[in-house]
Amino acid sequence: MSSAPADHAGIASAVNNDVARIGGLLAVAILPALAGITGSAYLDPDALAAGFRTAVLISAALCAAGGLLAAVTITNPARERRDVAIPEPCLHCGLDAPPLAASTDRRILAIQPRG
Q: DSSP readout, 6-43?
A: GGGHHHHHHHHHHHHHHHHHHHHHHHHHHHT--TGGGT
- Residues 13, 63: Cα–Cα separation, whole Å: 22
Instruction: Note the residue count of the chain.
Output: 115
pLDDT the model gives residue 104:
53
Domain residue ranges in the chain = 6-73
Q: What's the whole-number mean pLDDT along residues 84-93?
A: 67
pLDDT at 87 over 80: no
pLDDT the model gives residue 59:
93
Number of CB atoms found within 10 A of residue 35's CB: 20
Each residue's pLDDT tens digit, 59-71: 999 999 999 999 9
pLDDT the model gives residue 55:
94
pLDDT the model gives residue 97:
60
pLDDT the model gives residue 4:
79
**Which pTM does this prediction carry?**
0.55
Helices (H) and strands (E) in the chain, counts: 2, 0
Each residue's pLDDT tens digit, 13-65: 999 999 999 989 988 899 999 998 888 888 999 999 999 999 999 999 999 99
Q: Tell me the one-letter amino acid at 44.
A: D
- Residues 59, 56: Cα–Cα separation, whole Å: 5
